[in-house]
Amino acid sequence: MSSIKKRVLITGGAGFIGSHLCDLFIEKGYQVICMDNLITGKIENIKHHLKNESFKFVKHNVSEYIDVKGRIDYIMHFASPASPIDYLKYPIQTLKVGSLGTHNALGLAMAKGARFLLASTSEVYGDPLINPQPESYWGNVNPIGPRGVYDEAKRFAEAITMAYHHYHKLDTKIVRIFNTYGPRMRINDGRAIPNFICQALRGESITIYGSGKQTRSFCYISDLTKGLYKLLMSRENMPVNIGNSDEMSLIGLSRLISNLTDSRSKVIYKSLPIDDPKVRCPDISRAKRILKWHPEIGIEDGLKDTIGFFKRNNAFLG
């Protein structure tokens, strides 16, 4: 049996999901190249690997030409601003990393003969007219709305990935990631869980946009990364939803977080942002059937771990 370690390139590897993927591949004995320009990623997320001989960090913007020496077996393309606050702040960069960045990463995969996995998103479904959303649903997206820079960047990324698969016969995978949470989330990324946790821990009013009746489904980070690894190692080339199919209203989420943090924070309501989806829930029947995967961590246990992370790191004081 060969003792040569497999090499994986993870773009966006210093981000929330990317850094957990670095953990997973290091744990499984891979050599990991983490590439990130640190616009939204943080060195703190990967600092525990920096002295590991099996880990290498490269600061680079993947929207520019990517040059990596040596063999690469797998490329996981996770580089992109991924929260509304980020992609509204960096609209052009978001479009570039979804288009130019994906093109560059696919070109590298071609040159290296590497298997390629694209991190797509539930946002390709837009504000869905059906619930839950199966992979066969084409979506309800406003291409010129404020969220269009992210939605359309990911839809283009899917299209070019499939073009490389069909035209160049490249072995590609596409995952549509639904709301994911856990340690290393940024407190200021505008998502419900870090917002609610930090407001509750500070004793501030919990802010809900809209009526609070809109629903989301939340997948714990370790469940997601296990699903991503299974997809990478599978023979599947069509898009696969990975997320938790247990739906919860935002008002229900705020109450649960208040209970878990022993908070007496009041809830205040503000206007719903433009094109904000009313429902978001994955149909994960394909992942269950093809990958033999399903989420295992319940929302209460996952939130306890996430709240613990924010407390240990005093992140809520940021």
Active-site residues, by number, are: 150
Please say whether the beta carbons of 128 and 184 come within 8 A.
no
Identify the helix (H) or strand (E) that includes residue 26. Answer: helix 16-27
SS3 label, residue 134: coil
Among all chains, which residue has been given the structure tokens 């943080």? 42
Of 107, 137, 133, 105, whose CA–CA distance to 119 is shortest?
105
Of 196, 215, 186, 204, whose CA–CA distance to 38 is shortest?
186
Among all chains, which residue has been given the structure tokens 């069909």? 166
Biggest alpha carbon–alpha carbon distance for the chain: 60
Of 211, 210, 228, whose CA–CA distance to 219 is shortest?
228
Buried b or exposed e, range 139-171, using 16+ CB within 10 angstroms: bebeeeeebbbbbbbbbebbebbbebbeeeebb
Helices and strands in the chain: count of H runs, count of E runs:
10, 13
Structure tokens at 316: 């809520």
Q: DSSP string of 176-191?
A: EE--EE-TT--TTS--
* CA distances to 88, 146, 189, 277 from 273, in Å: 12, 9, 15, 9
Contacts of 271 (CB under 8 A, 6+ apart): 209, 210
Alpha-carbon radius of gyration of the chain = 19
